[in-house]
Amino acid sequence: MARRLRIGIDTGGTFTDVVALDEDTGEITTSKVPSTPHDPARAFAAVLEETLARLADGAGEPGVAMLAHGTTVATNRLLEDRVGDLGLITTEGFGDLLEIARQSVPDGYGNSYFWGKPPRLVPVRRVRTVGGRLDHTGAELRPFDEAGAVAAARWFRERGIDAIGVCFLHSYADPAHELAMREVLRREHPGAAVSLSCEVLREYREYERAVTTLVDAAVKPAVGRYLARVAAASAGTGAPLLVMKSNGGVVSAREAARRPITTVLSGPAAGALGAAFVAGCAGHRSVVTLDGGGTSTDVAVVRDGAPAPTTEGAVGRHPVRVPMIDIVTVGAGGGSVAWLSPEGTPKVGPRSAGADPGPICYGRDGVEVTVTDAHAVLGRIPPYLLGGRVPLDVLAAHLGVEGLARRLGMAAERAAAGVLEISAWNQANAIRQVTVGRGLDVRDLPLVAFGGSGPLLACRLLDVLDLPAAIVPDNPGNLSAFGLLTVDVRDDHVRTRIVRDGDDAPAAMDAVFAELTAQAADALDREGFPAGSRRFERSADLRYHGQAFEVRVPVPDGPDFRAETVRRFHDAHEALYGYCHRDDPGRHPVEWVNLRVTGVGPITRPAPRERPPGDGDPSRARTGSRDVYFDDWTETPIYRREKLAPGDVLEGPAVIEEYGSTLPLHPGFRARVDGHGNLVVTAAKEERS
């Protein structure tokens, strides 16, 4: 009988990773291939073909029960500002919506004299306005101008502008005018990719809604073409292709292509969820996750078993107000380039050497020193990657580091160590942003370090941030791909409905919640989840009257949901800001602003597997030694990760190597293998006393 597999494929900037789970035995198979940034679908097809061939047995090719994919196509287009020729259609009289934008200044008013607004997503010459007007309740003040809509559609068609966002005033209250505009565009400009704000983000605040809609339109053609290619590459498996969303769920490729804005943090979200799953199995419900890749490092916080959500995210310079995991990205990956500022100050990142040409040690004509080159020169990684599939030219890396060292006036090993120190502090600052910046004490949270480069600086991060421990999962380089197998189908729906809290509030909100639930149910029907196998999660954004922004809290079921939701709002407001007005509702009444429903289609998760303990002697895993530079050159024992067993304890200095990653264990630190095969790194007791 052929195997039945569940496969997760995650595309990163340097490598494309795969995890295949045998449904019957629980056996996990992992692999990597170099990413193909010019055509990411090629790497997807290659790693899928390689995996199926590798797992074929006498019963024939294995069957695939599920195929999930995390993609960076939308992310990269936004980070690189490759948004193409976009057009915007908005309400007559509001053509300067993008120019007005918001008054907020990055880093506070201290830098306001040195800051200018970023370039508009759509220049004013590609904005068309159409007559018609609704008020904030959705009542029509002026009818939709059909003739003006036709003129706008033809204007875009004649100029070859094929990606168009439509954002009319107050369409969150009634989408009728936007739906009419789409029908005109279908008739007059049928080749255009069109995004409507009422479908992308049915919330008030016109600027954020317009930009989010335009971002959806900008990535829709590229994401649609890419998903069509990977769907064709996977068609032979017979399994439905699921795509990771930024909100921590998966959705069919068809739905992802319809609303590509939901995939802008597809890859990083899978990593955070995989880390949450692994940490939860090991008994850690709240952790910091650190996903170190070739181009960047993504950090997030997991609280009570789930990554923290947000709708206040951004990708590059573009605000994106869709539900997503609260992730901070910093340009501190293995390929991050070391460089000198005009003042001669050493810097690392955010620019990356990527997969091609990559670091100097890759031997692909790279000429700039990267973090990976520094690790190679200091002996902290082996002279190869992926178990020998990618040999490293350590001599070339050493020559590159020597050139940097001469410019800094220091020895090569000190220059390499300095590159790693800067990279570690870049990562530490990102961790502070999602912990201290959110009111959390970073010292209470273990670190889950994964990704190809994630564990490399784990010991230094423990030291800098005074973290209690670092957890390095088994196969850390493939954890994002594994995370794709641990998530449910999730579909989010939102509606702005501003209501002053009071006894009559539930009646106004019940109808909205019912409509949103029906929309979520329809989406789950399309995904193949019948009524008995799905659930719905309700939440709401609340504020005190007069506040400009809201706090989101879960909304319970039942007729008495109002009082409990308001109580949760007071508690959350006090936890975030240090005060609340629960005892003064007369002077500070509560307002309900946005109502939300998420439809969840549960998918069976992998079962956690405990491993039998070893004999307590880790020498079975030792393969030799080599000189490694920590504070000085030290002959350091080398261990193979797969030969370690639960209960084994290693004292630093040591280097623990495996197929997709490496853990340099610094002097003064120890690593213990827990019952699930995770490496738990802590500072030695005598070092912390």
**CATH number assigned to the domain comprising residue 55:** 3.30.420.40
Instruction: Please state, in angstroms and rounded to a whole number, the distance separating the CA atoms of residues 411 and 519.
Output: 64
Q: Is 8 helix (H, G, I), strand (E, B) or coil?
A: strand
The pair phi, psi for residue 7, each rounded to 5°, is: -120, 135
Burial class from Cβ neighbours inside 10 Å (0-12, 13-18, 19+) for residue 99 reads exposed
For residue 582, the domain's CATH number is 3.30.1490
Contact in structure between 195 and 116 (CB atoms under 8 Å):
no
Would the CA dihedral through 348, 353, 358, 364 be positive or negative?
negative
In a 13 Å sphere around the CA of 685, the CA atoms on its Cβ side amount to 0
Tokens encoding 95: 């053509």
Check residue 374 and give its pLDDT: 97
Residues 38 and 124 placed together within one structural domain of the fold: no
DSSP β-ladder status, 447-450 and 470-472: parallel
Domain holding 41, by residue range, is 4-70
Helix (H, G, I), strand (E, B) or coil at 262: helix
H or E segment and range at residue 639: strand 633-640
Structure tokens at 50: 């390689």
476 belongs to a structural domain: no
CA angle 411, 413, 418 (to 5 degrees): 95
pLDDT at residue 683, as a whole number: 94
Residue 382 in contact with residue 662, Cβ under 8 Å? Answer: yes
Residue 147 tokens read as: 């003739």
CB 384 within 8 Å of CB 390: yes
User: β-strands 140-142, 163-167: how paired?
Assistant: unpaired
pLDDT at position 594, please? 94
The total of other beta-carbon atoms located within 10 Å of residue 386's CB is: 16
CATH of the domain at 187: 3.40.1360
Do 162 and 91 lie in one domain? The reply is yes
Residues of the chain scoring pLDDT < 70: 1-2, 57-61, 80, 103-118, 316, 355, 685-689
Q: Indicate if 587 and 531 belong to the same structural domain.
A: yes
Q: In angstroms, rounded to a whole number, what is the distance separating the alpha carbons of residues 448 and 278? A: 9
Domain count, the chain: 3
Q: Report the alpha-carbon distance of residue 24 to residue 627 in Å, rounded.
A: 44
Q: Are residues 87 and 213 in the same domain?
A: yes
Give 475-498 pLDDT, tens digit per residue.
998 999 999 998 889 999 999 999
Alpha-carbon distance 552 to 310, whole Å?
A: 9
Q: Would you say the C-alpha torsion 103, 263, 434, 597 has a positive or negative sign?
A: positive
pLDDT at residue number 446 = 97
CA separation for the pair 368, 400 (Å, rounded) = 7
Considering 586, 601, 616, which residue would you say is the last residue of a domain?
Answer: 601
For 245, the token pair is: 């969303």
**DSSP 3-state percent helix, strand, coil across the chain (nearest 5):** 35, 30, 35
For residues 57 and 160, state if they share a domain.
no
640 inside domain = no
Question: What would the pLDDT profile of 122-156 be if each residue is shown by its tens digit?
Answer: 999 999 999 999 999 999 999 999 999 999 999 99
Of 173, 203, 224, which residue constitutes the final position of a domain? 224
Based on the fold, state whether residues 100 and 181 are members of the same structural domain: yes
- Domain stops at, among 197, 224, 251: 224
103 and 220 together in one domain: yes
How far apart CA 275 and CA 56 sit, in angstroms, is 29
What's the rounded Cα separation, in Å, for the pair 267 and 243? 10
Q: How many residues does the chain have?
A: 689
Is residue 517 a part of any domain in this protein? yes
Is residue 154 one of the residues assigned to a domain? Answer: yes
Q: Residue 264 domain-assigned?
A: no
Q: Is residue 661 part of a domain?
A: no
C-alpha closest to that of 445 among 473, 467, 430, 472: 467
Same structural domain, 214 and 108: yes
pLDDT confidence of residue 686? 43
Q: What is the DSSP letter of 455?
A: G
Q: Residues 105, 173: one domain? A: yes
Pick the closest to residue 501 from 509, 511, 491, 492 (CA basis). Answer: 509
Task: For residues 535 and 576, state if they share a domain.
Answer: yes
pLDDT reported for residue 389: 81
In a domain, 553, yes or no: yes
Q: Are residues 27 and 97 in the same domain?
A: no
Residues 209 and 87 in one domain: yes
Residue with tokens 């019948």: 530
Residue with tokens 């946005």: 594
Distance, in Å, from the CA atom of 494 to the CA atom of 190, rounded to the nearest integer, reads: 29
Q: How far is CA 279 from CA 63, 121, 451, 483, 634, in A?
A: 30, 40, 15, 12, 33
Does residue 92 belong to any structural domain of this protein? yes
Nearest by Cα to 91 from 159, 162, 143, 154 = 143
Q: Which one, of 107, 132, 131, 102, lies nearest residue 117 by Cα? A: 102
